[in-house]
Amino acid sequence: MKYKIVLKQSEEGYSVSCLGLPGCWSQGETEEEALANIQDAIREYLAARDELIEDSDTREVEVAV
């Protein structure tokens, strides 16, 4: 699955956040490290989300854009 991210360079390195997952962000000294770190952060975010909704009635809806 693909997620849109925002990558920003700063004096300390790179910060990166995932637009579709509020609060999901990471950083790295290099662009490559930041991208690898956000992939891990997204996996952990989704795993935590799945645990929270484990016993819930979940459904999907389709939205036309």
Quick one: pLDDT band at residue 2, thresholds 50, 70, 90?
A: very high
* CB neighbour burial string for 5-22, b if at least 16 within 10 angstroms, e if fewer: beeeeeeeebbbbbeebe
What is the predicted pLDDT for the residue at 39? 98
Write out pLDDT tens, residues 5-58.
999 999 999 999 999 999 999 999 999 999 999 999 999 999 999 999 888 998
- Decide if 36 contacts 16 (C-beta within 8 A): no
- The residues spanned by each domain of the chain are 5-52
What is the predicted pLDDT for the residue at 23? 96
The CB density around residue 65, as the number of other CB atoms within 10 Å, is: 2
- Decide if 45 contacts 21 (C-beta within 8 A): yes
